[in-house]
Amino acid sequence: MPAFQEYFDPSHQMVRDSVRRFVEREVLPDIDAWEEAESFPRELYLKAGAAGILGIGYPEALGGSHEGDLFAKVAASEELMRCGSGGLVAGLGSLDIGLPPIVKWARPEVRDRVVPQVLSGHKISALAVTEPGGGSDVANLQTRAVRDGDFYRVSGSKTFITSGVRADFYTVAVRTGAPGFGGISLLLIEKGTPGFTVGRQLKKMGWWASDTAELFFDDCRVPVGNLIGAENMGFACIMGNFQSERLALALMANMTAQLALEESLKWAREREAFGKPIGKFQVIKHRLAEMATALEVSREFTYRQAAKMAAGQSVIKEISMAKNFATDTSDRITTEAVQILGGLGYMRESLVERLYRDNRILSIGGGTREVMNEIIAKQMGL
């Protein structure tokens, strides 16, 4: 990949090299088997923790490194995606949506107990916002938390939660107040709390290596000290968290497209039809040129928004645009890649088959394409 020196410095290259070595050593040899098994060993969290990968972007005092260095995170995310399994990256990376609210808004004693255990890979963090009744309309969520002395009594359910089966710490969006966005709070709910049960691992189109589950709360007693941020201020915390999740999903889409393009180029040079490599047919050559063009534009726009975020600018509109542009691009490039590989592109033995399936979630998770367009339109004053 090109160097993009405008965004990345030598320290980011070191992060990139170290994550790439980790992926080559610890993930690539087994990833096909883990995908088929729809799981990867829990030990991988410990290995990624020990290699310092899980801690990138978090405060040193909590066991992290490169705090505030967004492009270190970008470099690490891109290299992790080189394993070719969005599911593994989503599963290993569920801490990046579960932990930030805890780092920023939990009580110090909760934060100091929870965060280091997750960054070292000993415990797993998940974020639970979506409910069976709907995910897009966050302000309308129904899981109730009623104050009872030093506890909240939580009742309701969540669904489609990444790392839902094996997480230890769940950052859960609940309703503590009136209907609408002003009645929502975030609570840390721990595995093993009476009244909290986890459903089966859901079967999915893609992201096979990640576990995705339903969560059930039946009069679950959660200590008041586990409140994250102020009561009824959870909506703003959730929306803030979405900004970095949307950047991460745009980066995933760009890397999915990058891998699909690389596989297509390789095949276009190797595969012969009618006496010449298929890459010599103008229709294929132009398709590859257009795929590369769309990807470069998408990547550049995504990096630009990351740079603005790193500089502290508000990019609510632009990050939604980046997510939509990147996922439109990866939709197109993964579809074209399957076409260029022909029958092989449909076979489980080819990487593009997995990229095509894994890609489909990227314009749904973290806010759908339609929800992104709603945000963009609102920011345009519509």
Nearest approach in angstroms of CB 124 to ligand FAD is 12
In the bound state with ligand FAD, the residue whose beta carbon lies nearer, of 143 and 264, is 143
Active-site residue flag, 60: no
Among 107, 204, 221, 308, binds ligand FAD (CB under 6 A): 204
Which of 79, 214, 245, 263 is flagged as catalytic?
245
Binding residues for ligand FAD restricted to 127-186, rule: CB under 6 A: 127-130, 134-136, 160-162
How far is Cα 25 from Cα 175, in angstroms, rounded to an integer?
44
Q: Are 341 and 279 in contact (CB under 8 A)?
A: no
* Least distance (Å) between residue 212 CB and ligand FAD: 5
Look up residue 324 and give its two tokens: 């939509």
Q: What's the rounded Cα separation, in Å, for the pair 360 and 40?
A: 21
368 interacts with ligand FAD by CB under 6 A: yes
DSSP for 295-361, written as a single string:
HHHHHHHHHHHHHHHHTT---HHHHHHHHHHHHHHHHHHHHHHHHHHGGGGGSTTSHHHHHHHHHGG
Phi/psi-derived region of residue 171, left when phi > 0, alpha when psi is between -120 and 50, beta in every other case: beta
The amino acid that residue 113 corresponds to is R
Q: Which stretch binds ligand FAD (CB under 6 A): 18-26, 124-132, 267-275, 282-290?
A: 124-132
Which of these segments, 228-236, 323-331, 341-349, 360-368, binds ligand FAD (CB under 6 A)?
A: 360-368
Is residue 376 involved in binding ligand FAD (CB under 6 A)?
A: no
Which region, left, alpha or beta, applies to residue 367 given φ > 0 means left and ψ of -120 to 50 means alpha?
left
Compute the least distance from the CB of residue 357 to ligand FAD, in Å: 11
Residue placing its CB nearer to ligand FAD in the complex, 52 or 367:
367
* Under rule CB under 6 A, residue 241 binds ligand FAD: no
Cα–Cα–Cα angle for 226, 229, 234, rounded to 5 degrees: 105
What is d(CA 91, CA 108) in angstroms, rounded to the nearest whole number? 26
The token duo for 128 is 């639970």
102 or 288: CB nearest ligand FAD = 102
- Residue 68 backbone phi and psi in degrees, to 5: 75, 0
Least distance from C-beta 377 to ligand FAD, angstroms?
A: 10
When binding is defined by CB under 6 A, the residue of 22, 58, 169, 207 that contacts ligand FAD is 207
Question: What's the rounded Cα separation, in Å, for the pair 133 and 154?
Answer: 17
Q: Which residues sit at the interface with ligand FAD, rule CB under 6 A?
A: 126-130, 134-136, 160-162, 204, 207, 212, 361, 364-368, 370-371, 374
Active site positions, annotated: 245
